[in-house]
Amino acid sequence: MTKTITQAELRNGSAGVMDGLEAGDDYIITRNGRPVGELRPIAPRRSITTAELRARLARFAGLPSSAEERAEVDEMFGEDRLDD
């Protein structure tokens, strides 16, 4: 739920705003009646297992290594290098 609060309400009621953020509330902050910013809770980080990480990275297994890519580029364009 998005709540609109003034700068003064943020300053004077920061503990309540923090409680609201922990509860999942979003806030639009206004100054002189004009929206100037928003506060929203940070999504919790999700831990993944080693097996999940390996599964995610498996899609990169078929890609060439940087050394293989460099050799292919050198083969196509020659080995003109600056200060190797």
Q: Using one digit for the tens of pLDDT, what is the confidence trace for 69-80?
A: 788 888 888 876
* CA angle at 26 for the pair 8 and 21, rounded to the nearest 5°: 85
Q: How far apart are CA 84 and CA 81, in angstroms?
A: 6
pTM: 0.53
Residue-by-residue DSSP string for 35-60: EEEEE-PPPPP----HHHHHHHHGGG
- What band does 53 get if pLDDT is binned at 50, 70 and 90? confident
Contact criterion met (CB below 8 Å) for 47 and 33: no
- Better pLDDT: 72 or 39: 39
Class of the CATH domain delimited by 2-39: alpha beta
